[in-house]
C-alpha cells in the first residue's frame, strides 16, 4: 500500500495542485448538489443500481457521503488522513461487491461534469488549463486508490488459491508417488512368486507328477506371464521417472494371460467353445495392440 507521499511523487503532485484545488473549493460547494442529482440520473442507467442502493435510507446515507467526497476533492487537505478515507471507500465497495467498472464509469462522469462546469464558469480564480490539470490529478489519484482495493482483494484471493492449489498438488503428487512405489513392489513380489511357481512346475515335470507335454505348456504359459510382469515393471519404473504410461504394455499383459489360458485348454478335450471365444478375444486384443502402436508411431516426432 503506497503512502500519500509516494502517490504524490508518482502523479507529479506539486504545491501548485494544492493551491489550485483550494482556490476551487467554492466551486465544489457550489455544484455539489447538481452533481449529485445528475450522477444519480446517470447511475439509474446501470441495471444493478437498486442492488447497491436498495432503499431510501441507504440512498440518503450514500448521498451525504458523496457530497462530502465531492467537496473534499477541492477543500480537503490531501494528506495521510485523506488517503485513509479513500482506502476506506474502496474497502466498502469491495465488501458490498460493487464492480470496479461502476467506480471507473462514475469517475469518468464526474470528470466530464467538472470539465463542463469549469469551461462555463465565468469567474474562475485560476486559469482553466491549470484547473483542469489539477482536477485530473486528484481524480486519477482517487480512482487509483479506490480501485486499488479491488486489486488487493483479488491478489489476496489468488495468493490464497495459489497456496491451496500448491498444497493440494503436492499432496496428490506424494500420494501418487506412494501408489506407484506400491505398484512396483507388488509387481516385484508377483514376479518373485511366479518364478517360484515356475520352479515348482519344473519339479513336477522332473518327478513325473505331470506329463512332459502338459508341464512344458504350463511352464511356457507361466514364463509368458513372467515376461509380461517384467514389461509392466519396466513401464511403471519409466512412468515413475516421468515418462508417459504406455497402454500397449497392459494390452500385452492381457494377451499373455489369454494365450496362457489357450495353451492350457488346448490340452483338455471338449473345450472347443471356450477356445473359440478365447481365440476371438486374442484377435481383438492383438488388433487393439496394433492400433495403439500405429497411433504412437504416427504421433511420434521425426528423428
Mean pLDDT of 128-134: 92
pLDDT beyond 60 at 90 = yes
Where is mean pLDDT largest: 121-130, 152-161, 228-237, 263-272?
121-130
The residue behind cell 460547494 is 29
Work out the pLDDT band at 303, boundaries 50, 70, 90: very low
Work out the pLDDT band at 299, boundaries 50, 70, 90: very low
Bigger pLDDT: 91 or 170? 91
Please state, rounded to an integer, the average pLDDT across all residues of the chain: 82
Based on C-alpha coordinates, what's the Rg of the chain?
Answer: 40
Helix crossing, 128-206 with 56-75: angle to 10°? Answer: 120
Mean pLDDT of 149-178: 66
| DSSP secondary structure string for all residues of the chain | ---HHHHHHHTT--HHHHHHHHHTHHHHHHHHHHHHHHHHHHHTTSTTHHHHS-SHHHHHHHHHHHHHHHHHHHHS--SHHHHHHHHHHHHHHHHHT--HHHHHHHHHHHHHHHHHHHHH-TT-SS-HHHHHHHHHHHHHHHHHHHHHHHHHHHHHHHHHHHHHHHHHHHHHHHHHHHHHHHHHHHHHHHHHHHHHHHHHHHHHHHTTSS-HHHHHHHHHHHHHHHHHHHHHHHHHHHHHTTPPPPHHHHHHHHHHHHHHHHHHHTTSTT-HHHHHHHHHHHHHHHHHHHHHHHHHHHHSPP-
pLDDT beyond 70 at 256 = yes
Q: CA-to-CA distance for 45 and 291, rounded, in angstroms? A: 61
**Contacts (Cβ under 8 Å, ≥6 apart) of 200:** none
- pLDDT, tens only, 36-48: 999 999 988 888 8
Cell of 232: 509392466
pLDDT beyond 70 at 159 = no
pLDDT beyond 60 at 213 = yes
Architecture of the domain spanning 4-163:
Orthogonal Bundle (1.10)
Mean pLDDT of 72-96: 85
Query: CATH 1.10.490.10: which residues of the chain?
Result: 4-163
pLDDT confidence of residue 191: 86
Q: How far apart are the first and last CA of the chain?
A: 54
pLDDT confidence of residue 300: 45
- pLDDT, tens only, 227-249: 888 887 887 777 666 565 667 77
Inter-residue contact 27 to 117 (CB < 8 Å): yes
Angle at 214 between CA 211 and CA 217, to 5 degrees: 145
Cell of 97: 461487491
Amino acid at each position: 500500500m503506497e503512502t500519500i507521499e509516494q502517490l504524490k511523487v508518482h502523479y507529479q503532485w506539486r504545491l501548485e495542485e494544492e493551491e489550485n484545488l483550494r482556490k476551487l473549493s467554492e466551486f465544489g460547494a457550489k455544484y455539489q448538489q447538481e452533481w449529485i442529482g445528475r450522477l444519480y440520473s446517470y447511475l439509474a442507467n446501470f441495471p444493478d443500481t437498486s442492488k447497491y442502493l436498495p432503499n431510501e435510507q441507504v440512498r440518503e446515507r450514500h448521498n451525504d457521503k458523496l457530497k462530502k467526497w465531492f467537496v473534499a476533492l477541492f477543500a480537503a487537505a490531501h494528506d495521510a488522513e485523506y488517503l485513509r478515507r479513500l482506502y476506506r471507500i474502496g474497502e466498502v465497495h469491495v465488501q458490498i461487491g460493487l464492480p470496479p467498472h461502476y467506480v471507473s464509469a462514475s469517475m469518468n462522469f464526474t470528470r466530464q461534469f467538472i470539465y463542463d462546469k469549469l469551461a462555463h464558469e465565468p469567474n474562475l480564480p485560476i486559469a482553466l488549463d491549470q484547473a483542469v490539470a489539477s482536477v485530473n490529478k486528484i481524480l486519477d489519484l482517487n480512482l487509483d486508490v479506490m480501485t486499488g482495493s479491488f486489486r488487493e482483494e483479488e491478489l489476496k484471493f489468488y495468493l490464497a488459491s495459489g497456496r491451496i492449489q500448491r498444497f493440494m498438488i503436492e499432496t496428490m503428487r506424494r500420494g501418487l508417488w506412494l501408489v506407484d512405489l506400491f505398484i512396483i513392489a507388488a509387481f516385484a513380489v508377483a514376479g518373485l512368486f511366479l518364478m517360484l511357481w515356475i520352479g515348482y512346475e519344473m519339479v513336477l515335470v522332473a518327478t513325473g507328477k505331470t506329463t512332459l507335454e502338459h508341464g512344458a505348456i504350463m511352464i511356457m504359459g507361466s514364463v509368458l506371464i513372467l515376461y509380461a510382469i517384467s514389461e509392466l515393471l519396466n513401464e511403471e519404473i519409466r512412468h515413475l521417472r516421468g515418462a508417459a504410461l504406455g497402454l500397449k504394455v497392459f494390452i500385452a499383459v492381457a494377451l499373455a494371460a489369454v494365450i496362457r489360458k489357450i495353451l492350457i485348454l488346448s490340452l483338455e478335450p471338449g473345450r472347443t467353445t471356450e477356445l473359440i471365444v478365447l481365440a476371438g478375444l486374442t484377435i481383438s486384443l492383438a488388433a487393439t495392440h496394433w492400433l495403439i502402436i500405429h497411433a504412437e508411431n504416427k504421433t511420434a516426432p521425426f528423428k
